[in-house]
């Protein structure tokens, strides 16, 4: 009797030591695992002259910081801001792809561009950081399936059907919410359905981040392949139009897709927008005067000015646990097979605490282990789920 009780205690001690051991070694698990982020806007910084080959003091990412964060694959966002319409979306998207190609060519021993899962595995085997391309907003295809094929040939492997602005063939979350009474229609047009079918045929992932609910439901009826949300969070935890409702999360899980959680404070913390508005009332004059000293478009001026006053935002940045709650919610609702990382780094001005830039990504691994996630579930969330969807969608 005494001996068996002793064994029970010993087993309990071992299992405690085991889990403790896992958490203290979270960095080892993080660096062993294939880590993928499905959304980063640093291309906008590159266009403004920043060279991300070496460490920079701006934004959330550059090559040395990707390495420090244990990130293996980054999907760089090709996004043309609507205000820059003096040149065609198509031409500007091509220029942005050139900028990433040039970054890869200038760093041949450290970086490779992947267009399929085999490339990803090969490049990681060679010890390289992997760049992939995603297009945010379907405007550059110019309502022409031939142009969609062009971007596929150039390596674009997901397309977010809309940005905040709708395309002619799909309505965005912003327009479906703000313009509801003025919209002639909602959802996908017949041409929009053709785009979805063509993306399935080409082997390009359909990204439902940014689309309106009607567009979402239309897409889910048409697609024959799993979809991704490259950078969205959970509506139940934070009622933002960019977030996904439970019924949408369940439908994406049923479709075999993956929801990659966005780190943007207004998407994860329902109290953030109110706090930020209050802070901006006080900071706006300083932000405006800093903006006047910065060269670049509106997006870059906003990013750099906020960065200059970042310490002022410290008091309102949500804690890391608020971000992890979104991963946890999706995993508990539909399973750990359907959640991933979609940071939106360099596209968001402020990041949650303990997630200051891409070098802080291992904290996600630590927090998931702390919440009791198994090593295998953590690996799925870090990148395994994305790889499953990539393999299911790509042309064999
Ligand atoms: Zn976005």
Give the distance (Å) from ligand 1 centre to CA of residue 290: 25
| 382 and 81 Cβ atoms separated by less than 8 Å | no
Q: For residue range 262-273, list pLDDT tens digits in order.
A: 999 999 999 999
Three-class SS of residue 258? strand
Domain spanning 33-269+318-393: which superfamily?
Metal-dependent hydrolases (3.20.20.140)
Give the distance (Å) from ligand 1 centre to CA of residue 144: 23
CA distance 339 to 341: 7
Please calculate the CA angle 281-286-290 and round it to the nearest 5 degrees: 135
Q: How far is CA 328 from CA 54, 60, 103, 210, 364, in A?
A: 34, 24, 35, 22, 11
Give the distance (Å) from ligand 1 centre to CA of residue 161: 11
pTM: 0.93
Give the distance (Å) from ligand 1 centre to CA of residue 193: 22
Give the distance (Å) from ligand 1 centre to CA of residue 262: 9
Residue 14 pLDDT: 47
**Token code pair at residue 303:** 């990013």
Q: For residue range 185-215, list pLDDT tens digits in order.
A: 999 999 999 999 999 999 999 999 999 999 9
Residue 33 pLDDT: 97
Give the distance (Å) from ligand 1 centre to CA of residue 338: 20
Residue 139 pLDDT: 97
Give the distance (Å) from ligand 1 centre to CA of residue 20: 37
| 41 and 344 Cβ atoms separated by less than 8 Å | yes
Residue 17 pLDDT: 42
Give the distance (Å) from ligand 1 centre to CA of residue 330: 20
321 φ/ψ sector (left φ>0, alpha ψ -120 to 50, else beta): alpha
Give the distance (Å) from ligand 1 centre to CA of residue 280: 22
CA distance 317 to 15: 36
Give the distance (Å) from ligand 1 centre to CA of residue 163: 6
Low-confidence ranges of the chain (pLDDT < 70): 1-22, 84-85
CA distance 93 to 358: 24
Give the distance (Å) from ligand 1 centre to CA of residue 158: 13
Give the distance (Å) from ligand 1 centre to CA of residue 3: 60
CA distance 23 to 20: 5
Give the distance (Å) from ligand 1 centre to CA of residue 39: 8
């Amino acid at each position: 009797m005494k001996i068996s009780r002793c064994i029970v205690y010993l087993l309990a001690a071992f299992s405690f030591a085991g889990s403790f051991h896992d958490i203290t070694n979270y960095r080892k698990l993080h660096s062993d695992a294939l880590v993928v982020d499905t959304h980063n806007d640093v291309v906008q910084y590159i266009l403004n002259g920043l060279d991300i080959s070496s460490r920079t003091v701006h934004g959330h990412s550059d090559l040395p910081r990707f390495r420090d964060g244990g990130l293996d694959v980054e999907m760089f966002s090709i996004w043309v801001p609507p205000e820059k319409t003096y040149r065609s979306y198509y031409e500007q998207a091509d220029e942005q792809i050139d900028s990433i190609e040039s970054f890869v060519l200038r760093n041949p021993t450290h970086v490779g561009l992947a267009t399929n899962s085999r490339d990803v595995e090969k490049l990681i085997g060679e010890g390289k950081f992997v760049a992939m391309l995603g297009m945010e907003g379907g405007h550059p295809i110019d309502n022409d399936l031939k142009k969609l094929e062009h971007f596929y040939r150039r390596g674009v492997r997901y397309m977010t059907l809309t940005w905040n602005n709708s395309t002619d063939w799909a309505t965005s979350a912003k327009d479906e919410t703000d313009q509801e009474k003025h919209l002639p229609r909602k959802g996908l047009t017949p041409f929009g359905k053709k785009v979805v079918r063509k993306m399935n045929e080409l082997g390009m992932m359909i990204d439902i981040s940014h689309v309106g609910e009607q567009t979402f439901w239309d897409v889910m009826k048409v697609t024959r392949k799993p979809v991704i949300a490259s950078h969205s969070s959970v509506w139940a935890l934070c009622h933002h139009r960019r977030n996904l409702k439970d019924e949408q999360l369940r439908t994406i899980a049923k479709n075999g897709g993956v929801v990659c959680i966005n780190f943007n404070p207004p998407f994860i913390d329902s109290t953030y927008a109110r706090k930020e508005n209050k802070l901006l009332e006080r900071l706006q004059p300083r932000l405006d005067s800093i903006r006047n000293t910065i060269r670049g478009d509106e997006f870059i001026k906003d990013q750099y000015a906020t960065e200059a006053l970042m310490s002022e935002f410290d008091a309102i940045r949500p804690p890391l646990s608020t971000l992890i709650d979104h991963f946890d919610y999706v995993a508990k609702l539909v399973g750990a097979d359907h959640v991933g990382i979609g940071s939106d780094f360099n596209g968001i001005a402020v990041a949650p605490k303990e997630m200051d830039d891409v070098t802080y990504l291992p904290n996600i691994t630590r927090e998931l282990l702390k919440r009791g996630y198994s090593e295998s579930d953590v690996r799925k969330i870090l990148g395994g789920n994305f790889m499953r969807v990539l393999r299911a969608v790509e042309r064999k």
